[in-house]
Amino acid sequence: FYRVIRTTAYLLYSLHVNSCLYYWASAYEGLGSTTWVYDGEGNSYIRCYYWAVKTLITIGGLPDPKTLFEIVFQLLNYFTGVFAFSVMIGQMRDVVGAATAGQTYYRSCMDSTIKYMNFYRIPKTVQNRVKMWYEYTWHSQGMLDESELLVQLPDKMRLDIAIDVNYNIVSKVALFQGCDRQMIFDMLKRLRSVVYLPNDYVCKKGEIGREMYIIQAGQVHVLGGPDGRTVLVTLKAGSVFGEISLLAAGGGNRRTANVVAHGFANLFILDKKDLNEILVHYPESQKLLRKKAKKMLKNNNKPKEEQGAPGDPLIIPPKADTPKLFQAALAATGRLGGKGPLAQLRWRLKELKSMQV
């Protein structure tokens, strides 16, 4: 926009200078002395400016010069007009090109992707979802990849932008409350923004968890139940999920539920590798997060430990009941006065039972 104003100002100033030169040339030749010069009637500035516009833009329709001075002056005006007009066209082309550079890049990427999908005969349903992702990402963010915009900036500037854009969301996450402020800043630079379409699976049950998700905008459904389609909970902007897999010390931590985007959803993703690289420099924050992770795991496992899932194998199996026939024999032994091998066996069983208690 600034370049458009600057180019327009240069053009208007050039026309002003040319109109003044035309009035000087007319006064030098004598006002109204020939059909070429200004005749001195009407508003002199407006009429001379009108002549300058027609000359510099080479519209034509001007009276023919009569004297040598008029011919030379007119030729210089024509050359200046051609040069000024070409410069103006070049400036406008650059301005329009710069203003539509992002749109051109977006169309180029989309066309290349469509060409690739057509070449490999990708199903139309998949192609339509890819087109929808391109359109929504471009219209919502004005770009396809935010990292491309910031990659050339110094670290300090990238951090300042990340703080202004993302800090309010991340600082409200309960998991990171109490952590070192500088650790939060370092984490902001590692976040990746990803757009999910309606009904897209963010993660599936049984997958290895290597990322944590923070909802920037939109909503996601956590699905469960026997069919895996029952909505257990709806998470909104500012919510976090996948943090247990991210903070667990061991590997092989699997997702425990399906998470599906409910409408369009913009999520921040933090990789486990990136978080571990950050926590190396912040041992106190690392201890705090480990403690929170253990507490979360304990809370998740507590109902199962208290209730006991049916069919789960027990560590110490219960003692089997005494057969009825053997009980009758023991009772008969008791009636016989407590003598004989059966009576001794009964006494031995009572002793074992008292030891177990």
Compute the mean pLDDT over every residue in the chain, rounded to the nearest whole number.
80
d(CA 217, CA 229): 23
Q: In sequence order, which ranges of 120-221 are alpha helices (DSSP H)?
A: 124-141, 146-150, 155-170, 181-188
Residue 68 clears pLDDT 60, i.e. is over it: yes
Q: For the chain, what percent of residues have pLDDT higher than 70? A: 80
Q: In sequence order, which ranges of 38-123 are alpha helices (DSSP H)?
A: 44-56, 68-99, 101-119
Q: Quick one: pLDDT at residue 86?
A: 83
Q: For the chain, what percent of residues have pLDDT higher than 90? A: 28
Domains and CATH numbers, the chain: 1-144 (1.10.287), 154-301 (2.60.120.10)
**CB neighbours of residue 44 within 10 Å:** 16
**CB neighbours of residue 340 within 10 Å:** 11
Compute CA distances 103 → 15, 108, 147, 179, whole Å.
34, 9, 17, 41
Do 240 and 213 form a contact (C-beta atoms < 8 A)? yes
Higher local confidence (pLDDT), 95 or 322: 95
Give burial (CB, 10 Å; 0-12/13-18/19+) of 35: exposed
Residue 185 clears pLDDT 80, i.e. is over it: yes
Over range 241-253, report the average pLDDT: 71
Over range 166-192, report the average pLDDT: 85
- How much is the pTM? 0.60
pLDDT tens profile 306-346 = 444 333 333 333 444 555 544 555 455 554 455 555 556 56
d(CA 80, CA 78): 5
DSSP annotation of 203: E
Q: Quick one: pLDDT at residue 149?
A: 67
Q: Quick one: pLDDT at residue 349?
A: 61
Q: Quick one: pLDDT at residue 345?
A: 58
pLDDT tens profile 47-57 = 999 988 888 77
Higher local confidence (pLDDT), 137 or 351: 137
Over range 202-218, report the average pLDDT: 89
Q: What's the pLDDT band for 69 if we cut at 50, 70, 90?
A: very high
DSSP annotation of 323: P
Q: Quick one: pLDDT at residue 223?
A: 93
Q: What's the pLDDT band for 304 if we cut at 50, 70, 90?
A: very low
Nearest to 213, CA basis, from 229, 194, 232: 194
Residue 305 clears pLDDT 70, i.e. is over it: no
Q: Quick one: pLDDT at residue 176?
A: 84
Over range 80-92, report the average pLDDT: 81
